[in-house]
Amino acid sequence: MKDSTSQFSIRTKHLSLFYDDARALKNINLSFHEKQVSALIGPSGCGKSTFLRCINRMNDLIQSVRIEGSVLLDDFDIYQAGVDPVKVRQHVGMVFQKPNPFPKSIYDNLAWGMKINGITGDYDELVEHNLKKAGLWEEVKNKLKSSALSLSGGQQQRLCIARAIAINPQIILMDEPTSALDPISTTIIENLIEELKQNYTIIIVTHNMQQAGRIADFTSFFLLGEVIEHGPTSQLFYNPENKKTEAYITGRFG
């Protein structure tokens, strides 16, 4: 599973995050392999979602947040002075916990993102291509002009994934993408993530440890804003080095 030749696509160095004076992330040093799925697990409030939002600078939108350290995408520090967070987000797509398509047509959900990012080409073709990649094309090809809100929760979430990949990112961040979905939709999305792995580096936050075990190549365990353990999923699950990791995975707390 572990590919020794793969490069680190994302690296964080001494990353700390403060809400006013409260420190939510403590000196995080993590590296994520290119074109692999990495899962972030940990109890609620441990900072895994906050960490995820650091990678595409979504935390910049919250006023009280202060960030120290650096996040390197392909050796480029996205927190260095003069970097436009909007540009960062064009390279790092994001899928949220609750499906949140735009209240527009299915077609426009994809086309709007492409338009504002200056992607040129035949939009009909691009929309079809990206919907196919997200495994949604067959279900919606006859109703591209109807509202995205008329889709089911699972379909909406796949539409959000299609919307994210339509702007050609290298990295896709997923913040508990299946927590609001039923088991069947969850399975479809997990299979989709397996496929997307070929082209994208994926980081997924999940509360569901079975899910991490099923889809992730690497897993990091967060606790109280710190990374307790990071490693290949099988190692972390079956042979954890840290007592706390073992305790969490076996369900003794969390």
Partner 1 sequence: MIKLLFRSLFRFLAYLLSFFQIKNKKIRELVYIIVFQLCLVFTFLTLLTLILRVIDESFGFVLTKNTKQVSEVFGETTDPNSLTKTQLINVMKDNMRRGTVRTLDTEKPLAQRTEENLLDLINEFVLEERVIKTWSLYESIFTLHSIRRIHESTPHSQLKFRNWINLTFLINKQSSFPEFTGIRSALLGSVFIVCIALAFSLPLGVASAVYLEEYATKNRLNSIIQTNIYNLTGIPSILYGILGLAIFVRLLLPLTQGRTILSAGLTLGLLCLPIIIINSQEAIKAVPNSLRNSSYGVGATKWQTVWHHVLPGSYERILTGVILAISRAIGETAPLVVVGAATFITTDPTGLFSKFTALPIQIYQWTARPQESYHHVAAAAIIILLFLIISLNSTAIILRKRVSQRKIEQ
Binding site residues, partner 1, CB under 8 A? 56, 58, 61, 63, 86-87, 89-90, 93-96, 98, 100-103, 112-113, 116-117, 149, 160, 163-164, 166-167
Nearest-approach distance from CB 90 to partner 1, in angstroms = 4
Nearest-approach distance from CB 86 to partner 1, in angstroms = 5
The residue (of 101 and 240) whose beta carbon lies closer to partner 1 is: 101
The residue (of 130 and 233) whose beta carbon lies closer to partner 1 is: 130
Task: Please tell me the number of Cα atoms within 13 Å of 45 on its side-chain side.
Answer: 3
Nearest-approach distance from CB 84 to partner 1, in angstroms = 9
96, containing H or E segment = none
- Comparing C-alpha atoms, which of 93, 76, 53, 74 is closest to residue 6? 74
- 83's CB contacts (< 8 A; 6+ apart) are 77
The residue (of 3 and 74) whose beta carbon lies closer to partner 1 is: 74
- Comparing C-alpha atoms, which of 187, 170, 167 is closest to residue 178? 187
Nearest-approach distance from CB 146 to partner 1, in angstroms = 14
Q: φ and ψ at 176, to 5 degrees?
A: 45, 60
Task: Please tell me the number of Cα atoms within 13 Å of 138 on its side-chain side.
Answer: 1
Nearest-approach distance from CB 85 to partner 1, in angstroms = 8
Both structure tokens of 72: 């390197």
The residue (of 94 and 236) whose beta carbon lies closer to partner 1 is: 94
The residue (of 148 and 188) whose beta carbon lies closer to partner 1 is: 148
- Comparing C-alpha atoms, which of 139, 138, 189 is closest to residue 164? 189
CA distance linking residue 31 with residue 16, whole number of Å: 15
If you search the block for the tokens 């050609």, which residue do you land on? 168
Nearest-approach distance from CB 170 to partner 1, in angstroms = 13
The residue (of 106 and 236) whose beta carbon lies closer to partner 1 is: 106
Nearest-approach distance from CB 113 to partner 1, in angstroms = 4
The string of DSSP letters for 120-149 reads: -S-HHHHHHHHHHHTT-HHHHTT-TTSBGG
C-beta of residue 218 within 8 angstroms of C-beta of residue 39: yes
Q: How large is the C-alpha radius of gyration of the chain?
A: 18
The residue (of 159 and 227) whose beta carbon lies closer to partner 1 is: 159
